[in-house]
Amino acid sequence: MKAYLLTEMTWPEVKEALQTVKLAIIPIGAHEQHGPHMKESCDAVLATEMSNKLAERLYPYVLVTPTVNMGVSIHHINFPGTITLQPDTLIRVLRDMVWSLKQHGINKFLFLNSHGGNQSTLSVACTTLTHELGVQIYYAKTTASAKEAMKKHISSTLYGHSCEREVSEALYLAPHLIHMDRLEKGDIREGQWRLLRPGNAIQGTYQYEEMTANGCIGDATKASYEAGQEMVEEALDNLTESLLQFL
């Protein structure tokens, strides 16, 4: 299958593609610890792979830009290797990307994000840049819309980071991210973080090591290629269906 990937193209190829392209997908990941069994580039790689697959579905109407390979990860900073951008830095990078692509005639954008810690910054970026630059911006968490497959494959009540969901996605999209011989269940610690999880009366910031000693939650040992395939493909179906209505 074909897809317009900006990193793989020459300028005459881009010029040709711009005759049909209406929307740019900007893959947004993170560089942060993913427990003992996943590489720290996990989110950046998964956002890239999802973007590429979505671009295949929407060929020749979209292109994929270079990946924003670091994100807002301050809650992981106490695990070795994590790099975090300030929210304002991430917004500035996105402003420059959107501005540049607008010079080439693109006026619609999808921020395709694989990292939960980026979501509120992307919401702010979407509000701000839409008005400031006069463009249309959408954003999505990569596989959040795969509700049926998640119900089927995920049994942990606390999941979402280097868990059966994420490892399954990686098994399907980028198995090199995983050390299969080191898969571990989340080593959960008790603490006040439980009071701040989504669904509680109040929200707030806590550091990841308060919640988990090994940097994982959920149960990575339950991951499978099939679960990954079903979640990714269901999400791609949903993303494709939504975006087609905006092209």
CB 19 within 8 A of CB 47: no
CA 92 to chain CA centroid, nearest Å: 18
Buried b (16+ CB within 10 A) or exposed e, 39-68: bbbbbbbbbbbbbbbbbbbbbebbbbbebb
Shortest Cβ 138–a copy of itself spacing (Å): 4
Q: Which is nearer to a copy of itself, 37 or 115 (CB)?
A: 37
Alpha carbons 214 and 180: distance in angstroms, whole number: 16
Is 51 one of the binding residues for a copy of itself (CB under 8 A)?
no
- The H or E element spanning position 211 is helix 208-211
Shortest Cβ 53–a copy of itself spacing (Å): 14
Binders of a copy of itself among residues 22 to 41 (CB under 8 A) are: 31, 33-41
Alpha carbons 157 and 159: distance in angstroms, whole number: 6
CA 147 to chain CA centroid, nearest Å: 16
- When binding is defined by CB under 8 A, the residue of 80, 151, 181, 190 that contacts a copy of itself is 80
How many residues touch a copy of itself (CB under 8 A)? 89
Alpha carbons 121 and 71: distance in angstroms, whole number: 10
Q: Which is nearer to a copy of itself, 34 or 115 (CB)?
A: 34
Shortest Cβ 65–a copy of itself spacing (Å): 7
Residue 36 CB partners (closer than 8 Å, separation 6+): 179, 182, 184, 214, 215, 216
The residue with tokens 């509700």 is: 147
Shortest Cβ 61–a copy of itself spacing (Å): 15
Alpha carbons 11 and 14: distance in angstroms, whole number: 5
Alpha carbons 238 and 145: distance in angstroms, whole number: 7
Which of these segments, 14-22, 150-158, 167-175, 219-227, binds a copy of itself (CB under 8 A)? Answer: 14-22
Is 155 one of the binding residues for a copy of itself (CB under 8 A)?
no
- When binding is defined by CB under 8 A, the residue of 51, 67, 114, 168 that contacts a copy of itself is 67
Is 158 one of the binding residues for a copy of itself (CB under 8 A)?
no
Is 211 one of the binding residues for a copy of itself (CB under 8 A)?
no
Binders of a copy of itself among residues 92 to 121 (CB under 8 A) are: 92-93, 95-97, 100-101, 103-104, 110, 119-121
Binders of a copy of itself among residues 171 to 210 (CB under 8 A) are: 179, 182, 192, 195-196, 200-205
Shortest Cβ 230–a copy of itself spacing (Å): 16
Is 232 one of the binding residues for a copy of itself (CB under 8 A)?
no
Binders of a copy of itself among residues 124 to 143 (CB under 8 A) are: 124, 126-128, 130-131, 136-140
